[in-house]
Amino acid sequence: MRLLAQREKLLSQIAQRIRQSLNLGEILSRTVSEVRQFLQADRVVIYQLEADRSGAIAVESVSRPELSILKAPLYDPCFGQGSIEKYLAGRILSVEDIYTAGLTPCHVEFLAQIQVRANLVVPILQTTSESLILQPEVSPTHANSQRRYLSLYGLLIAHHCSGARRWQPEEIDLLRELSTQIGIAVQQGQLYQQLYQAEQRYHSIVENAIAGIFQTTPSGQYLSANPALAKIYGYNSPEELISTVNNIGQQLYVNPNRRREFMAAIEANNAVFEFESQVYRKDGSIIWILENARAVRDSKGAILYCEGTVSDITERKQAQAALRLQQEQTEKLLLNILPSSIAQRLKQEQGIIADHFEAVSVMFADIVGFTELSSRKSPAELVEMLNAIFSKFDQLAEQHGLEKIKTIGDAYMVVAGLPTPRTDHAEAIAEMALDIQAEIKKLSIATGEPFSLRIGIHSGPVVAGVIGIKKFIYDLWGDTVNIASRMESQGIVDAIQATNTTYELLQQKYVFKKRGLIPIKGKGKMTTYLLIGRK
């Protein structure tokens, strides 16, 4: 129990550090150091892959200086495309003794050269829109999502050098969970670096802007202009600008009303500050400008002319748009993982998020015969097929106001009644079940594949939340979830099996057929019903 508590504390600390810090190098260095101390291993490293499939040790922690391989030239002749594909698929390599584990001779020789006797290797994966070391992700959040990929950032590796070592399940779980957290940290660090660079570009553009200087009449003719202003507007000289532009409002501003608004502000306040507009250059292209100006009046208060400065802020606007896009992408990344309300709480709270919901309905749907189907389909065909099915399920879940929890292989889990409680949770989940049942029939006809579903539903209380020691996933716990899963696994092909609890909530509006008593693991015999359709 003490070891488990230490493990959970370590995971929680690292997850919290990732949420709070933008220093990726510090996060990775502290992570390998703390992991090595926890495992009592001789060496823990993060091996980072490059786009050309070469790699290097990014960070390491060693028990003795002589074990360091941080700057050593490393070449593993056995590590090729086949290894990358296996790690992309989630492979975890646990070797108790390199001499008895059945490794290839070249692999044994490589590990022996760096004094490894036992090792534990876990892939560090991240979701990205492009990469050279990647594969398509199985199930985007919805059908219209940008195509996403799983990218292999690198490997989290623990080395035992002093002798053979049997890696314990909890140690393997620790590295697996940490690899997820590291993937999040890497993605977060890369995104924040992009945001930082965009912000730096923005400040550089503002600080180094060359201002144009002008004097204009109230009616919109130039009295004077400097060379910088002529250059901003694309003219060869101030004289050409002054002689060509006789009506600033009509000839210069994309929206002529902006000139009227400019003069109205001058009349009211005697000055304008940071007045942004789109204007035409000589060649017809459109740029953004920022004006600061004041009125020069005669003794009676009438405006003689306006004078001020103009800055070309087109690049700044583009940088702001890029910055907004990056911020939106950051937000979308979080919202693709968590419900909006939970994401907002996660940003504000430091501890565990866990809520009790008294009444929800949980549905599990499993594609029957998936194993047989996968044996006669290529990986690409299989991914494409699953993507088509689950993307349609995602659309239906959004249509019915449900919360998709996760996909587990060929199974789909969704819930009604949280994070926002609703009294019609059972009806919503019933509609979802009937709709996906109809949809799978359409897909079966369209593809010629004999798709079938087993669907299970149960209603009751659950606990939902984000623990923070694994990747940020909104999950459910409780007996209701277990029973809903049993309803699916003990169900009938092409049928929707529901418990008596759900039946009682739906019997007035839906047609059921009593199946009777069936044995349910951990519950004994339970009376179940088959949902046939709507009344």
Kindly state the average pLDDT of the residues 263-290.
95
Half-sphere exposure of 264 (CA within 13 A, CB side): 6
Structure tokens that stand for 324 in this block: 């907004």
Strand partners, 156: 46, 122
Is CATH 3.30.450.20 what the domain over 212-312 is classified as, yes or no?
yes
Q: Which residue's structure tokens are 């789109």?
A: 278
Options 3.40.50.150, 2.10.109.10, 3.40.800.10, 3.30.450.40; CATH for 2-199 is: 3.30.450.40
Angle at 258 between CA 256 and CA 259, to 5 degrees: 75
Structure tokens that stand for 90 in this block: 């989630």
- Residue 178's nearest CA partner among 192, 157, 193, 161 is 157
- Residue 338, pLDDT above cutoff 70: no
pLDDT band at 522 (very low <50, low <70, confident <90, very high): confident
Structure tokens that stand for 368 in this block: 């029957």
SS3 sequence of 241-288 = HHHHCCCHHHHCECCCHHHHHHHHHHHHHCEEEEEEEEEECCCCCEEE
Q: Kind and range of the H or E element at 466?
A: strand 453-466
Domain ranges of the chain: 2-199, 212-312, 339-534
Helix, strand or coil, per DSSP, at residue 14: helix
Kindly state the average pLDDT of the residues 177-193.
82
Helix, strand or coil, per DSSP, at residue 371: helix
pLDDT digits (tens, 9 = 90+) for 448-503: 888 899 999 999 999 988 765 556 677 888 999 999 999 999 999 999 999 999 99
pLDDT digits (tens, 9 = 90+) for 347-373: 666 567 778 999 999 999 999 887 777
Same fold, 2-199 and 339-534: no
Q: What is the mean pLDDT of the chain?
A: 85
pLDDT band at 421 (very low <50, low <70, confident <90, very high): very high
Residue 209: what pLDDT?
45
Structure tokens that stand for 96 in this block: 């108790």
For residue 271, the one-letter residue type is A
- Residue 117's nearest CA partner among 167, 173, 46 is 167
Is CATH 3.30.70.1230 what the domain over 339-534 is classified as, yes or no?
yes
pLDDT digits (tens, 9 = 90+) for 121-160: 999 988 765 444 455 554 444 444 445 567 888 899 999 9
SS3 sequence of 480-535 = HHHHHHHHHHCCCCCEEEEEHHHHHHHCCCEEEEEEEEEEECCCEEEEEEEEEEEC
Residue 341: what pLDDT?
61
Integer Cα distance of 136 and 144 in angstroms: 15
The pTM of this model reads 0.42
Structure tokens that stand for 113 in this block: 């050269």
